[in-house]
Amino acid sequence: MTHEHKDDPYYQQFKEGFVRWAPNVRRVLKHMGATSEETDDAMQAAVVSILHKRPDMREPRTYLTRAARNKYLSMVRAHRHTDDIEEENGLDTAAPSSLRPENRVVSSELQDRLLTALRSLPSAHREAFVLHADEDYSYAEIAQITGRKENTVCQHYKRAVDALRELLRE
């Protein structure tokens, strides 16, 4: 820690929140399809932005998740243009997805089926499902993170559950 942050209560509060919630936010980004490197980049960009802007963070978990999510989505949008050019030149830039360690207990066949089913969901449905079912965010918190209405988030979650049940039943 540098001397300039030593006596800064905002920095101290942010640091405590970051240490507590960073693993959850990293999992959210990975569920969104981020590689480890992209997760690191999005988290770093979010931290820099937060420390620069110094927003009032009443709910640090929600704010950090939203900031990192938005940084990742911006990176994806910026990268799409590059991918389109590389694809035109015949280069494949698809990155493999990662699995959470606690999911390794589940059979690889079931993991494959679940990941395939999750990937087939619309991104808004997948995001609502992961944030609520896996990360224990409330619908209100997810609405804050995604910028959607709470009722919309609830509908996306319910549609994700219905679709997953149907896909995994097959």
Backbone angle region of 130, left / alpha / beta, with phi > 0 → left and psi within -120 to 50 → alpha = alpha
The two tokens of residue 125 are: 């449905």
- Find the length of the chain: 170
Helices and strands (H and E) in the chain: how many: 8, 0
| % pLDDT > 90, the chain | 47
Nearest to 51 by CA among 109, 1, 115: 1
Greater confidence, 9 or 79?
9
Confidence of residue 81 (pLDDT cuts 50, 70, 90): low
According to the model, what pLDDT value does residue 102 have? 44
The pLDDT tens digits for 105-159 are 456 777 788 888 988 999 999 999 999 998 999 999 999 999 999 999 999 999 9
Residue with tokens 């990293």: 26
Q: With 0-12 CB in 10 A as exposed, 13-18 as middle and 19+ as buried, what is 54?
A: exposed
Least confident of 4-8, 84-88, 123-127: 84-88
